[in-house]
Structure 1
Amino acid sequence: MDAGQGVLASLSPTYPIESDREALDFALRPGVSRTTNLPKEQNIYDNSGFGLYVLSSVAASFGWFAFGSGNSRVIGHGNIQREQQDFSFMGTFFGMRLRSSPKDFRNVLNDVIEVGEEEAQMQGVSRRASGLSKMY
């Protein structure tokens, strides 16, 4: 959780998005990062745009997540079903709760990343998950 500028303000200079609701949905896609157009040397944290995607995918598969910013929030559960709700939060938050634990977290993580990288590539995103997104 932070009290920063929010997801819409963070992503809108790089992507054509106009609302908090749209920004949240967009931010959960694989390969979406505010650093997309930055040269590699300016991307000092090696953001790949896979962190929120990985967290939300795992949380939705094994429990639930809530992700919000500005006047909207997304609740995800069970096979990544998402419910958009009106909300009010100046900043950004992400919370999750696992109701069961993966039997083999390494394989689950690898599968989520592989699917995400394929999905990103189909959408024209050449980024791959960073080392931090793959950490287990």
Structure 2
Amino acid sequence: MATSSHFAIGTHPQHGLVAAATDPAIPPQLAHWLLTLERFQPVPDTPGLFRLPDPERDGSRRAARAARNLRHLGYAVHTDYNLASEDSPRPTRTNLRGRLVQAAARMSPQLRTEPAAKLSSARALPPKPAYAPTVHLHATRSW
């Protein structure tokens, strides 16, 4: 591990994916806060060592994301070679994306409008009467 790095993220034979603060200038409370913010959990027997829970659940991508986030905060992070290649974005789900694009491009059946000719024949207006109906209004005072 390089001495110029602030954090190191790698694999441990017993604990799986682990992270630790390597710079003595970083207080243990700050390292604990930053690494738990990235979803690492402290290893009970080893102070200063944090493990990533469920490494089989896309652990390498989560560890690479933690390294990227720490670098974004201005810290130098040393990672194992297999995690350095994980900085690529996660694979796209083209099948799902294709179905979403098709659904977005299709018009909703709820918003579908009927042609104007069909609407006018379906809803005929009554003919106008030849006479004008008379409305009788009575003037009443309410005060």
Using the size of structure 2 for normalisation, the TM-score is 0.28
Using the size of structure 1 for normalisation, the TM-score is 0.30
Larger Rg, first or second structure (1 or 2) = 2
Bigger strand share: 1
Structure ranking higher on relative contact order (CA contacts 8 Å, 6+ apart): 1
